[in-house]
Amino acid sequence: MLVELSSTFPILSCILFFPLIGAAVLWLFDDEDLVRTSALTIALVELALSIFVLVRFIPDSAAMQFVERVRWIPALGISYHLAVDGISVLFVGLTAFLTVLIVIYSWDTVRHQMKLYMMSLLALETTTMGVFVSLDLILFFVFWELMLIPSYFLIKLWGGGAERHYAALKYVLYTLLGSVFMLVGIALLDINYHNWATLHHSDTLYSFDLLELLAVPIPLNQQLLIFWFMFMGFAFKAPVFPFHTWLANALMEGPIGMAVALAGLKLGTFGFMRFSIPLLPDASKNEMVVTVLMALGLAAIVYGALMALIQPDFRRLLAFSSISHLGFIVVGLFALNFQGLQGSLLTMINLGFSTAGLFFIAGFLYTRQQTTHLSAFGGIAKHTPLLATFFLLIGLASIGLPGTNGFVGEFLILLGTFKAYWLYGLIAVTGVITGAAYFLWYYERAVLGPVGRTVKASIEDLHLREVIIAVSLSAMILWIGLYPSPFLRMMNGSVQALVDRVHHGAMVSENAVASKRLD
C-alpha cells in the first residue's frame, strides 16, 4: 500500500518557488556585487530548506512524504500534487547543492550580463526542482518544458564556444521532439484511466495523478505502446544512445554552470524510474523491451568509453564519458532487481558529484589556459598541486575506485546485472576498464611529467572559491564511498516497492495500490 505523509507546512512549495522569487528580486538590483551576494544567499537558503527535508525524511519507507495536494484544473483531473520519496528526495538536495557551487564558480568567471545570468540560473533551479517533486504528470510536464527557457539562454548567451547558438537550438529541438512523444503517452494514460473510471462509475473521470494512475490496470498491448512514447521523451533528455548527439555540443559550447547541470542532474533516467517502470511494469519487464534497452545501454557503455579514449579535449572527453555512465544506469534500471535499481539510482546521485566535479575541474583548467585541449597542458602538477590532487580524486571517483562513491553505485549495478543476465554483466565490465583508461590517459599527459612548453609561467593554483567547490565535492565523494548507508537507507523502501510493483504488476489492482493519507 502506498502511503502519503502530509506536512502541515508547505516546505516543498517553498523549495519550488523560492529560487524563482529570488530571481525576480534580483531584477531590482543594478550593482553586480549585490547581485552576486544576493544570488548566493538565495541559493544557500534553498540548500538549507533542502537539507531540512533530507533530515526530516523517514528512511526505509516507500511512503510519499511532505505531500501537498490541491486541485488545479478539476474538470481535466489535473492537480498541484507535490511529494518526495526515496526515489526523488536525494535529487532535491543534489540540485540545491550544485546550484550553490555554480553560483560560487560563476562569481568571477561570468563577465557580462551577470544579473540575467543569475536570474536564469535560479529559474533553472526552480524548474528542475519541479521535475523532481511533481506527482501529477501534467505538472511534471509543465516544469519539464519550462526548463528549456533558461537552459536555452544559458547556453546561447553565456556559452564560450563559437557554435553555442547551434548547440542551444539543437538541445531545445531534440528535447521538444521527445516531449511530443511523451505528451502522447501521458494522454493515453489519461484515456485509459477515463475508460476504467467510466466502467466503474467513478466520481473522478480524468486523472494525471501518479498514485491514482497506479491504481488502474493497463492491458499489456497498451502498456507497450505507452512505454515507447514515454521512452522517447526520456531518452532524448537523458540522453540515451543513440539519441545523444546534442550532448557533446551543449557540453562543449555552453558555460560550465550549464554543463554541470546537464551532466550532474540525470532527469531522463529519473523519469524512467519515477513514471515509466512503475506505471508500465508489464511492459518494462517484457522480453523485447528489456533486450532493446539492455542493448542500448551496453552500446552506450562501450561506444562512450571508446570515444572518450580518443578525445584530446577534456570537455569533449567528459561528454562521451557521460554517455558511457548513462549506459550503466540504463543497464541497472532494466535488470529490474533490487541491486540494479538501487545501483542506478545511487549512480545518478553520484554523477552529480563526480562528473559535475570534473566539469568544474575543466572550468578551472580553462580559466588558466583558455582551453581544455591536451596540447595546452603537461606537467601542471608542479605549479598547481592542489588542482592536480582534486583532479585525481574526483577523476578516480568517476571511474569507480573503491573508497569513492563511484565504486558503490557501479558495483551494485554490475551485481544486479550479473544476477539478471550474466552475459550483459560481462559486457558492462569492459566499460569499467576503458573508463579507467580514458581518464588516466588524459590525466597523465595533462598533469604529470615535465611542464609543457605551452603552460603559462604564471599559472596559479586553486584560489579560495575554487577550493571550496573542490573540497565540498570531495567530501561528498568520500562520504558516500566510505559510508553509503544513510543514502541507501533513504532509497531502500521506494526501490523495494518498485521491485514489488514490477514483479506483481499484472496483479496490481486499485485496492493494492490505494493511497492512504496520514495527517
Closest CA relative to residue 133, chosen from 309, 7, 288, 320: 7
Query: Which residues, listed in sequence order, are joined to residue 516 by a DSSP beta bridge?
Result: 3
| CA angle (276, 277, 281) in 5-degree steps | 115
Note whether residue 209 is domain-resident. Answer: no
Cα gap 194→204, rounded to integer Å: 8
**pLDDT digit string (tens) for the chain, length 519 residues:** 455 665 668 999 999 999 999 999 999 998 999 999 999 999 999 999 999 999 999 999 999 999 999 999 888 889 999 999 999 999 999 999 999 999 999 998 988 899 999 999 999 999 999 999 999 999 999 999 999 999 999 999 998 877 889 999 999 999 999 999 999 999 999 999 999 888 887 777 888 999 999 999 999 999 999 999 999 999 999 899 899 889 999 998 989 999 999 999 999 999 999 999 999 999 999 999 999 999 999 999 999 999 999 999 999 999 999 999 999 999 999 999 999 999 999 999 999 999 999 999 999 999 988 889 988 888 898 889 999 999 999 999 999 999 999 999 999 999 999 999 999 999 999 888 888 899 999 999 999 888 888 888 778 989 999 999 999 999 999 999 999 999 999 999 999 999 999 987 544 433 333 333 333
Cα gap 298→310, rounded to integer Å: 19
Exposure pattern of 331-358 as b/e (b: 16+ CB <10 Å)?
Answer: bbbbbbbbbbbbbbbbbbbbbbbbbbbb
Task: Please state the three-class secondary structure of 40-74 as a single string.
Answer: HHHHHHHHHHHHHHHHHCCCCCCCEEEEEEEEEEH
Instruction: Using CB atoms within 10 Å of the CB of residue 481, give its burial: 0 to 12 exposed, 13 to 18 middle, 19+ buried.
Output: buried
CA distances to 267, 293, 294 from 288, rounded to whole Å, are 24, 9, 10
Q: Taking the chain, what is the end-to-end CA distance rounded to the nearest angstrom?
A: 17
Cα gap 519→514, rounded to integer Å: 16
pLDDT score recorded for residue 511? 36
Note whether residue 116 is domain-resident. Answer: no
Cα gap 274→81, rounded to integer Å: 14
Cell of 85: 520519496
Note whether residue 311 is domain-resident. Answer: yes
Cα gap 334→329, rounded to integer Å: 9
Instruction: Using CB atoms within 10 Å of the CB of residue 67, give its burial: 0 to 12 exposed, 13 to 18 middle, 19+ buried.
Output: buried
Query: Which residues, listed in sequence order, are joined to residue 70 by a DSSP beta bridge?
Result: 80
Cα gap 57→63, rounded to integer Å: 10
Eight-class DSSP state of 276: I
Closest CA relative to residue 213, chosen from 196, 233, 232, 238: 196
Asked if the peptide bond before residue 242 counts as cis, ω within 30 degrees of 0, the response is yes
> How many separate domains does the chain show?
1
Note whether residue 66 is domain-resident. Answer: no
Cα gap 132→176, rounded to integer Å: 19
Cα gap 23→32, rounded to integer Å: 14
Cα gap 25→438, rounded to integer Å: 44
Note whether residue 308 is domain-resident. Answer: yes
pLDDT score recorded for residue 2? 59
Cell of 151: 537552459
Instruction: Using CB atoms within 10 Å of the CB of residue 168, give its burial: 0 to 12 exposed, 13 to 18 middle, 19+ buried.
Output: buried
147: three-class secondary structure by DSSP: coil
pLDDT score recorded for residue 271? 94
Asked if the peptide bond before residue 10 counts as cis, ω within 30 degrees of 0, the response is no
Task: Give this prediction's pTM.
Answer: 0.93
Alpha carbon of residue 512 to chain centroid:
30
Query: Which residues have a Cβ under 8 Å from the Cβ of 144 and sit 6 or more positions away?
Result: 131, 179, 182, 237, 267
Cα gap 31→233, rounded to integer Å: 41
Q: Order of strands across the sheet with 64-73?
A: 78-84, 64-73, 2-6, 515-518
pLDDT score recorded for residue 296? 95
Note whether residue 300 is domain-resident. Answer: yes
Cα gap 253→166, rounded to integer Å: 9
| Residue ranges in 134-219 assigned as alpha helix (H) | 137-146, 148-158, 164-199, 210-214
Note whether residue 333 is domain-resident. Answer: yes
Cell of 435: 573508463
Alpha carbon of residue 45 to chain centroid:
21
Cell of 242: 543513440
Range of the domain at 499: 285-506
Cα gap 497→350, rounded to integer Å: 22
162: three-class secondary structure by DSSP: coil
Note whether residue 30 is domain-resident. Answer: no
pLDDT score recorded for residue 513? 37
2: three-class secondary structure by DSSP: strand
